[in-house]
Amino acid sequence: MQTAEDQFQFFEGVFFETLGRDVQVNEYRLLQGGNINITVQVFTNEGKYFVKYNTRNHEGMFEAEAKGLGLLREADVIRVPEVMNWGRRDGQDYLVLENIEYSKPRFDYWEVLGQNLADLHRQSNDSYGLQFNNYIGSLQQFNEPNSKWLDFFIEKRLNMQAGLAYYNDLITKELYDKFQRFYKVLPELLPNEEPALLHGDLWSGNVITDDRGNPCLIDPAVYYGNREVELAFTTLFGGFENRFYEAYHESFPLQPRFDQRIAIYNIYPLMVHVNIFGTSYLPPVLRTLNKYL
């Protein structure tokens, strides 16, 4: 078990690797200790930093997160923390980010977030997916590019999760076969959209308020996809305020009957939760499959 002295030495080594010089670590505060990463705010003689680290050996997790944050920052439409460094030290993977101080949201916070996200989704690409794989939660997310959205959504999103759940005995062969039949009706249900740059894991816990009261995106699972997937995801786990959706639609209108497609898109994040947390997330998936079969 690590002592407090070990932890200080770890952070001092991390900052030497990050800044190229000795840095005095004065204090660190635990912000979150999840089932994947530990997050801390580290106070040094050169300022405050945000550090994530783990010993779980999720290969390439922080490098992929750093690249994803970089893509979002390059779009320059919404605040995203700056990546300082990532690496491995003393048997622990780490990611060092700019520290963003939280404050009270400005009065038009939700409208700003809606407009910012619409601007992010205008960033396009010549294919769906991404040039590298990344993670959603603790699960690897495979992003091999594909010129056809429906093929990408079925192969790299829905069937990847259904197959993993079946392999781990979380769903039956009967339910896995039902997924296969469901894929055949999707061409009649889902519209085409140009590839849009997506945060990829956009729920309320991955949007924070910065020191000016503006929205800031964290913990992405970036790829290029149909923007409807992202808007659908925001309705899970409490959802966002109506002002967000109104501002988004005003800036970048969605195709008609989007609300009827939300449950279809949300099969993906729900199956991610099935594979991470268990079968309590299956009922809404079953309701959607049964509705269309």
Respond yes or no: is residue 93 known to be catalytic. Answer: no
Instruction: Specify the range with the lowest mean pLDDT, choosing from 44-48, 144-148, 280-284.
Output: 44-48
Right CATH for 109-292 from 3.40.640.10, 3.40.50.720, 3.30.300.30, 3.90.1200.10: 3.90.1200.10
pLDDT confidence bin for 109, thresholds 50/70/90: very high
pLDDT at 145: 98
Query: Which alpha helices (H) appear in the chain, and where do they start and end?
Result: 4-19, 61-75, 109-121, 149-152, 159-167, 173-185, 227-233, 242-251, 262-265, 267-277, 282-292
Distance set, CA 248 to CA 118, 240, 255 (Å): 6, 12, 13
Cα–Cα dist 200/214, whole Å: 20
When the pLDDT of each residue in the chain is averaged and rounded to a whole number, the result is 94
Selected catalytic residue, list 108, 169, 201, 210 = 201
* Residue ranges of domains in the chain: 4-98, 109-292
How many CB atoms lie under 10 A from the CB of residue 5?
8
Q: What value, to the nearest 5°, has the Cα angle with vertex 291 and ends 286 and 293? A: 95
pLDDT at site 2: 65
The CATH code of domain 4-98 reads: 3.30.200.20
Could you read off the pLDDT of 184-221 as tens digits, one per residue?
999 999 999 999 999 999 999 999 999 999 999 999 99
Are 217 and 79 in contact by the 8 Å Cβ rule? The answer is yes
Looking at residue 33, its pLDDT comes to 55
List 217's β-bridge partners, or say none.
207
Of residues 37 and 266, more confidence is placed in: 266
